[in-house]
A and B are shown apart, each in its own frame.
Chain A
Amino acid sequence: MRRSLFAALLVGTVFGVGAPAAAAEVGQYIPLPTYRVGAYASSGELWWAGERDYFRYINEVEGGIDGIKLKVEEFETEWSPDRTVEVYERVKAGKDGSPLAFFFTHGTPASYALLDKAAADRIPLIDPAGGRTESVDGSVFPYAFPLLFSYYSQASTGINYIASKVGGLDKLKGLKIATVYHDSAYGRASQPAVDALAKRYGFENIQIPVADPGSEQSPQWRQVREVKPDWIFLRTWGVSTVVALKTAQRFGFPANRIIGDVWAGSESDVIPAGAAAIGYSALAPYPGGSDFEIHKRLKAAILDTGKSDLRDPKLFGAVNYNVGLVNAALAVEALRTGYRHFGARPLTGEEGRWAFEHLTIEPARLKQIGFDGLLQPIAITPTDHEGGGAARIQSWDGSRWVLQTDWIKADHALLKPLIEAGAKAYAREKGIVPRAAESAEAAAQ
């Protein structure tokens, strides 16, 4: 009797008290495919600084998430999708006792490349403001999370902003709105939404492609001069944004009539354009600036103590740094949601999916974590993997981004049928049976 009692106590100690201690010791493994060198390093360097600084803040100031430390490991990919796939294969089984709860793809091409693979492995792919737009529909894409702001939402928010400038949606009728876009899957991704919006509101939809890399755009802006649009929606990125702004100036198109999308709205896009970028506005699901509460906390705990990953402190609060902060915060809040449900231990991929599908960040919580104004309220569900769909508008004044608006929401009622149609077509092509919301709930209970 005594021996069995001792055995029971021992078992209780190991699995009762010891298990959480062991879980805290193991930590949650978070691999980061990054690009600190190569053609895209100028944005990557800041992005990873933001992500790593926030994870470091959570570990060192808050003691981890509910006691679970985050074990971050970087892999250099030079933004190459094949290398990101290789990273995924290396990390999908987890590390040092921690399973993989989710995988940041850090790029739309990699999200496309891993879509089927991750679904088969039951590992959520996280790609805020990127990824395949149809994968917003979680019933067909249970393991893809294009959080925050899909490409369709970008188009709709941009049009809503133009409407607010011209006096309302009814005033869009008869306007000419030209989209100058990088001629790639990324650049074309918003076209179905702009088509639908043009039909609904009666504006003329003009699409002007720019071939990669976009370092010479005179023919495109000559076309702009010929068609005389009222507004330009600029869906370029990298060099093609800088050259677009400079060429627009040369052809006499005013910068304050150009609205850039998320990936055409960082300091890297406007500083090299000089005076040509003054007055240019961009959609900002990741607003620039270092006046947010989280920046004060990070400055005190991470930057001023010399623990920051940021190489140049002048870039603290740059748009790409804030991209990293916001994405890291989304991951942290999702893990917290998962730990509260499954217990404080490293989560599996399936549990990670549940955690993201139940991620809700309300305004009060945003204030608590210091992201008020920097991150929009989020409510992700098993069928809606975007969860936000809004952006603020910021304008470049020649030295910094100035926020012009509060969060402007996309027209989800108009976009939902488009997304569902795209998801259904994908399901037909791949032989996927869409899951019902209830079964999604049940699957991870």
Chain B
Amino acid sequence: MSLFLETLIGGVLAGTLYALVAIGFVLIYKASGVFNYAQGSLLLFGALTFVSLKETGVPIAAALAVTAGLLIVTAVAIERFLLRPLTNRGPLTLFMATLGLSYLVEGVAQGLMGSRVRALDLGIEDLPLFLGDIMISRFDLVAAGVAVVLVVALALLFHRTRIGIQLRGVADDTRAALSLGIDIHRIWQIVWAVAGLVGLVAGLLWGARQGVQFSLSLVVLKALPVLIIGGFTSIAGAIVGGIVVGAGESLAETYVGPFLGGGITSWFAYGLALAFLLVRPAGLLGERPIERV
């Protein structure tokens, strides 16, 4: 029983790290209907900038502030020079634009900061904590705590601030929001900036776990099944989806893996997502599209 509980808790905590990556996608999709393929590249860009500054002796708080500022400037530039000229274009066009953007961001990041692997020490030791017989990763526990704080902060932003209400208005009905005088371009800039900052948090946690390097941008592959399961339009859905994927793949690897030759986590999450697509295409907490026919 303790093995089961340890596997389950470990999986749930790992799942919150997947959820952190997925939240960045949800924010942009919810506000603009764009599936941002460049989210992984922005995550890498943020983490690489932070660690490069830190390596040059910049204090952590200053490095964090400079990186956050740079991500906000990047978000404004993306909206101004990429999204605005493509206003009213179809979702596929916007998706392709973000695809191009990801190559641009990755190229600039590697060109400016190099491609060597960097260690990132956030001061959180990945040592075990024991609850009776159950071992828990201290690092994963802290990461889960960060995810909870982030979700609470985003909930406050969306529900308690004027910007949040405008943002929800744009997400619900863009035309109606425009007719009420909401500056949709400003809202997009804010959403991309918030998604970039969420990506920075995810990038720092993943970077501390596996090193800051180019392949950090590939962690978004873990976010796709999370989004399908949780729903593309719900932050709570991203958290639930992350937990389902994390716990599911951990339990599957431990209890089903040995019968299938092991190493099943790479496809298990996608198999689970496929099942959800068949049964509940909008995901657990995503909005079901209603169309007049």
User: Using a CB–CB distance below 8 Å, which chain A residues touch chain B?
Assistant: 36-42, 44-46, 183, 207-213, 215-216, 218-220, 222-223, 226, 238-239, 242-243, 246, 249-252, 267-268, 271-274, 276, 311-312, 315
Contact = CB atoms under 8 A, between A and B. Distances in A.
B263 A210 contact: yes
A211 B265 contact: yes
B219 to A, nearest CB: 7
Contact of B116 (A37, A45, A222, A274): A45
B10 A218 contact: yes
Contacts of A252: 128
Q: Which 5 A-B pairs have the closest CB atoms?
A: A272-B211, A209-B263, A183-B263, A41-B115, A211-B266
B115 A208 contact: no
A183 B222 contact: no
Given A220-B253, A238-B215, A250-B135, 14 more contacts: A37-B107, A42-B116, A208-B262, A209-B263, A211-B265, A218-B7, A218-B137, A219-B7, A219-B250, A219-B257, A226-B3, A250-B126, A250-B127, A272-B117
Contacts of B213: 42, 239, 268, 272
B116 A268 contact: yes
| Binding site secondary structure of chain B | helix
Given A215-B206, A218-B250, A272-B118, A39 B214 contact: yes
B107 to A, nearest CB: 7
Contacts of B266: 183, 211-213
Contacts of B3: 222, 226
Contacts of B249: 216
Nearest to B268: A211
Contacts of B118: 271-272
Nearest to B216: A239
B138 to A, nearest CB: 8
B215 A39 contact: yes
A216 B206 CA distance: 10
A315 B137 CA distance: 33
Nearest to A226: B3
Given A42-B214, A183-B263, A215-B222, A251 B7 contact: no
B218 A39 contact: yes
Given A208-B262, A222-B7, A311 B210 contact: no
Contact of B115 (A37, A243, A246, A273): A37
A39 B41 CA distance: 11
B37 to A, nearest CB: 15
B129 to A, nearest CB: 10
Contact of A274 (B11, B119, B128, B222): B119
B64 interface: no
A312 B137 contact: no
Listed residue (B117, B209, B261) with the most chain A CB atoms within 10 angstroms of its CB: B117
Contact of B110 (A41, A226, A243, A315): A41
A420 B219 CA distance: 41
A219 B137 CA distance: 13
